[in-house]
Each structure stands twice: as C-alpha cells, then as structure tokens.
Amino acid sequence: MKYQFKNVRGLKKTKPEEVIKVEADENYSVFYFSDGRNITLAKTLKECEGIFEPYPFFRTHRSCMINLLYCIEIHQKEVILINNLKANISRRRLTGLKNSLLYLKNMT
C-alpha cells in the first residue's frame, strides 16, 4: 500500500515500509527513506505514529521514530540503522525497543 506524502513540491507516493526513520523538527517531520532521499513534511511525530501504526515502527525518543526492520545495532544511547543513520534512544524506552525487536525476530 502506498501513502501520499504532501510537501511544498507536491505529492509524493511511497510505501511506508521504505521509511527508515522519522525525526521531529518542531511541527515538521523529516522522513528518511531507504533509497537515501529525505523529505520534510508539516506533520507532527504524533500524526506520523497514526500513519505508521500497522507497520513495525517504534518511538525511540520524543523526537524520533524508527522502522525496526532497518535496525542494525543498539548501543546504550543510540540505534544504528542502515545508510549510516543513527537515532537517539531515551533510557526509558530502551527496554521496550529491545522487547519489540525480539518480538519482531520471533515473528519471522
């Protein structure tokens, strides 16, 4: 299923599973895609959570959400993703992230 993302340049259709991570920038969100491109949208991270609810996304921090399928490694305070992307992890969400990754691993 493709989702239409609307930004200042028009509409972009993309599959949610192509999104590696979403970072908040006040009332905007920056989407990072698996093909290396990124776009900025006028959506809050809370709105993005609703869009990606059926997909394996996890909120690692108040300003970041990642696609668990692209997670390579977890360090104490950050997650390493593909394309050399990194995401901060709040200490309170670290256990939930590990549990979500274990659950996803057991599902496959």
Give the whole-angstrom CA distance, residue 23 versus residue 43.
11
Digitized pLDDT (tens) for each residue of the chain, 108 residues in all:
677 766 666 677 788 899 999 999 988 999 999 999 998 888 899 999 988 988 999 999 999 999 999 999 999 899 999 999 999 999 999 999 999 999 999 987
pLDDT at 7: 66
DSSP sequence for 42-88: S--HHHHHHHTTTS-EEEEETTEEEEGGGEEEE-SSEEEEGGG-EEE
Total number of residues shown for the chain: 108
Phi (first) and psi of residue 77, to 5 degrees = -120, 5
Name the residue ranges covered by the structural domains of the chain: 3-107
Please tell me the CATH superfamily of domain 3-107, with its number.
LytTr DNA-binding domain (2.40.50.1020)
